[in-house]
A and B are shown apart, each in its own frame.
Chain A
């Protein structure tokens, strides 16, 4: 089956990378006197009884949804040869403003949710669009401008939170925006468990899961089946060939950034609409940077990104049990970090192998083209420094991100 072979080829590099990363992590664990087998057992221990186990699954899924959206946002830009490092700032700006708008209005249920989501998408799209505009009008590298805009976004979000949009009482230790009224909450999917006769856990399974699936399918169709997606991928593979074929290179940069931004705007929505109902100092951070890692691991294909998001979510959930078992939760950070490094290397190796195979005249399955991690573009102005870019950018990001992320997994009782 050629389809199976193609899938196998595409999955080979990431699977190998994960395996190598696990081995390296095991060595590191041994070095810090942690028994890797114990650590692994704790990570796979989903607790006793069906309720606990299903709760663990819900935690993983709830975590995977925003990670998937983040990976998707990064991948859309990657496919066009653009490196959107600004996803972090884009979703934080989007979430604080959407939280503000959501709290300020009262509308019938679905409309209220829709308005909040649309505001988030629009804000993030505009924020990402600035990057695109700077690139086409002033020739500013999107890597630089999106990093810089992250700082501005985080600062602005803090200002909005402590200033105009502040909802929590003066002197409270946790500052949040005004709570979104109940009409603007996203219903949970917990009904599904009853439907299948499973234990209904106290934790709410985000209704946004469905939205994420729809967005994933939409992005997949857009990239692979649509004319626009063809132009986008062509720009990623060879900007010069795309221009000669009639693609408006400047327009494509702006449009791609707008789409990437719009998807980035959704990242904060599962937590905002499904659990927190307000944006605050404790709101999940670091998802934008994790998204880069997830996109890399998923080789920029929606299905791959979904799997990568699940893996990262699984690792994330493990940090609390690890701490309980008196194993440093930084084990998770180490695994995630080594995975990213291993994936970058594995993708490049796989790309060279496929290309060499192809040049020798044998028929091979097409690789995941426009793979941002490998600087797939063949044109001289194709863009990014391929290797150090992702590595150095995600390294620190992941560390802070998992630190914060671990915290969000502690029961907050919002939905319980």
Chain B
């Protein structure tokens, strides 16, 4: 790499203040052309604010942005795109009922007269797809694509607009290991073609694998640059949080003999004919964490819905303690001691446009301290929200803050705090640390471990294999709706687990063992 060439992106002394907080202060960032540059830091450390600044979504109060050595000012993302900076968002912004071609050109359509020039669009998309080995078929409907392909569509969208610098916001959060490898292959292609990639992540192993340089952000400012070849994940983490990296490992078994939840032959129908959940039987005992592994879309979400009473059973029974709850409403299940950390907190866990204290009530509408008889106890809910904010380290100005104002990690801590505060017998934790930073992740892990030690039964669904292996007492692998393997996490590597998840290993092979000892 030619060190004398101007930097592709340079940020000097960027400071961004919001009323009451300084989100970024004196940020310095130096990114060379043709490198994959990772930016790591906790959520709330200011990564997103910084990237929004670079993408023109708001303007910095101080400091300057230089592209190829020239200072620039962005008034809007349109300016940033025109200058060759593109962003691939963590949450895909695609229209499912459009084809790949339509999604890619949406907003900057090549036209012939007033008609969309499909031939030209197709030519350019195929060109991009070939050059960067994205493997996209312009005519496939996006709804038919998997997560990895959708992400490539998002990347193609940015490239189509002529970006030479790509910002990828937590791109691996939604991918399984195999897809992550594919993404890294794509990034290598981008790099080979001379593009610059800014890669935001908090998965340190991945960052070390893919990045050429790493900048660490802590509490709104850059704490330093690290060389991925010489820095260990542990050192990186310490730079990030200023403390030792937490591990998901649970130490001693707390599993008892008393079952909290028993699923017997649970089957959930789906529109497509093949059941979404196919004859699943499993037992969760007090003090036990049962991990459900599987590539996303293999029935885990439907199984969670079935346990929560959000989806009807086609067959089978669900027993909580000693009672069959298959006919119970969701509310009754919650009242009788099931806590729920949903997979998509924005969709199922929060009222984004409501204040935190109302979110404290959500899911606990029938129980103190949030209600008195048929009425909402505003004071009680506010006080208890303050307690949760204190005890669970939810960083927000007050209980009256709107939930949408919180970072993902803080939203998740509020949800975890809220569910734990009701002292459930059984906790359904679906992707409890998805999209949260290392700090919040370790807090949530600790909380789950404590709850387990106190005798709570936990069903843990996760795409993070380390988390699954580290926290679970028993692992159940789901594939196409059925449980295909029951594994002992004590003697399992993520690679082996990944093999089971994709069906590469035969079910009932010798290494399949029952781990609930």
Give the interface of A toward B (CB within 8 A): 224-231, 233-234, 237-238, 240-241, 243-248, 354-355, 358-367, 369, 376, 378-380
Contact = CB atoms under 8 A, between A and B. Distances in A.
B354 interface: yes
A234 B362 contact: yes
B347 A379 contact: yes
Nearest to B20: A362
Contacts of A358: 401-402, 404-405
Contact of A355 (B18, B348, B353): B353
Contacts of B333: 246
Most buried by B among A226, A241, A243, A376: A241
Contacts of A367: 353
Contact of B365 (A245, A354, A363, A380): A245
Interface string B337-350: 00010100011111
A366 B362 contact: no
B302 to A, nearest CB: 14
Given A244-B340, A244-B349, A227 B366 contact: yes
Interface of B: 18-21, 23, 58, 308, 310, 329-335, 340, 342, 346-355, 358, 361-366, 371, 374-376, 378, 397-398, 400-402, 404-405
Nearest to A367: B353
A362 B355 CA distance: 13
Given A227-B371, A366-B400, A244 B352 contact: no
A226 B374 contact: yes
B365 A230 contact: yes
A248 B361 CA distance: 16
Contacts of B346: 378
12 contacts: A225-B378, A227-B376, A245-B330, A246-B365, A247-B330, A247-B331, A355-B402, A360-B58, A361-B21, A362-B20, A364-B402, A369-B351
A224 B20 CA distance: 29
Contact of B348 (A237, A241, A354, A364): A241
Contacts of A366: 353-355, 400, 402
Contacts of B375: 225-227
Contacts of B58: 360
Contacts of B365: 227, 230-231, 245-247
Contacts of A244: 308, 310, 330, 340, 342, 348-349, 363
A245 B334 CA distance: 8
A369 B402 CA distance: 11
Given A246-B365, A358-B405, A362-B405, A227 B374 contact: yes
Contacts of B331: 246-248
A365 B349 CA distance: 21
B348 A369 contact: no
Contact of A225 (B19, B351, B376, B405): B376
A363 B376 CA distance: 23
B349 A361 contact: no
